[in-house]
Structures are given as structure tokens and as C-alpha cells.
Amino acid sequence: MTIIQPNKNSKKINLFIFGLTMTTVVVAVWGVFIYNQLINLRHELVNQENNLQKAEVMNAELKNNLYQLTDTKNLETSANQNSLVLEKNPQYLKNEPLVASR
């Protein structure tokens, strides 16, 4: 004669299924947070690339302005406007011994 016991192992199986379900839910929620951080990181990267490009353009414009200011023609006209004279033989510093005076 066979004895049927339908609820003998149901507590263990229910506990196992509950554990798997909770693990799945936790992993799914964690995956959503990780995905969110990844998207935020991508947007921040795009913003930083845009800022870098703007900085490169500003740098090029500043260099262009500097080169225009230090152009030989511009320096000659500004020297003439300010009544400056080009020195042909400039004397900068001389290496002479110091003489003590008493």
C-alpha cells in the first residue's frame, strides 16, 4: 500500500523558490541602477567632449589674435604711432668687473 504525502517537501521548495525570486528582483533592480549610472556617465562624457572642443576653438582664436598682434607689420605701425625708433646696435648688458669706489 502506498502512502501519499503531498505537502512533505513543500516548505523547502517554497523557500528555494522565494529565495530565487528575491535574488532575481534584487539583481533586476541593481541592473537598473547600474544602467542608469552608465547612461549618466555617457552624457557626462559627451558634455566634457563638447567643453573640450569649445576650449580648443577658444585656444585657436586666442593664438590667432596673438599672432596678429605680434605680426611684423602691426608692430611697425604701432612703433610709428608711438614715436618709437628702431635701434640698430642695441647694447643690452656688458660683462665687466665691478669696481669698488671709496
Per-residue pLDDT of the chain (102 residues; tens, 9 = 90+): 677 766 666 788 889 999 999 999 999 999 999 999 999 999 999 999 999 999 999 999 999 999 988 888 888 888 888 888 878 887 777 777 777 766
Q: Would 10 be classed as within a structural domain?
A: no
H-state helical runs in 7-102: 10-69, 72-81
CA 87 remoteness from chain centre? 48
Q: Would 14 be classed as within a structural domain?
A: no
Q: Would 8 be classed as within a structural domain?
A: no
Q: Would 55 be classed as within a structural domain?
A: yes
Structural domains counted in the chain: 1
Residue that the C-alpha cell 599672432 belongs to: 67
Residue that the C-alpha cell 610709428 belongs to: 80
Q: Would 44 be classed as within a structural domain?
A: yes
Kindly report the pTM of this predicted structure: 0.54
Q: Would 46 be classed as within a structural domain?
A: yes
Supply the range of the domain harboring residue 59.
Answer: 32-67
Residue that the C-alpha cell 605680426 belongs to: 71
8-state DSSP, 89? S
Q: Would 93 be classed as within a structural domain?
A: no
Give the number of C-alpha atoms closer than 13 A to the C-alpha of residue 45, restricted to the C-beta side: 6
